[in-house]
Structure 1
């Protein structure tokens, strides 16, 4: 449960390396089927990917935080 929560939430429960590899294999087989299939009139069917939990965003915010001075930190902690 700890690893699932660290990965992004409860929806990651049970998603170990083996399940990620199985989902990747499923998607690779579908891509191979689309690439090598003999489709009539050139219309390739849309094959959906394996449903996966959504990963949380790890990108930092665009505005960098301004570092606080020692005086500002002291003012916050002393309650002035």
Structure 2
């Protein structure tokens, strides 16, 4: 599928679920800008003798982890195996 808006339900489901609905490029950039401003404020602020306060990050949807696919190494498939799989049909 091409040329779908980045805030559409189809793109959200492809990205990881319904919690990604409405999270387009503009919203990701705004959240990154919010975090960058907070980090800059924390780094350059005049906090006196105390430590700088911990400023929470902008809440973002969490991607679902795919631990089974990333931990299991894939075995290379030969051309003969591909042909055998296709010829079974």
Q: CA deviation at 1:74?
A: 12
How many residues are aligned here?
80
Q: CA deviation at 1:62?
A: 2.3
8 Å contact kept, 1:11–1:53: yes
**What is the TM-score normalised by the length of structure 1?**
0.74
Q: CA deviation at 1:40?
A: 1.9
Q: Which of structures 1 and 2 has the bigger CA Rg? A: 1
Give the gaps of 5 or more residues in structure 1.
none
Give the gaps of 5 or more residues in structure 2.
1-8
8 Å contact kept, 1:7–1:56: no
Structural RMSD (CA): 3.5
Q: CA deviation at 1:43?
A: 1.0
- In structure 2, distance between residues paired with 1:69 and 1:32: 53
Aligned structure 1 segments of 4 or more residues deviating by more than 2 angstroms: 56-80
Report 1 or 2 for greater relative contact order, CA contacts < 8 Å, sequence distance ≥ 6. 1
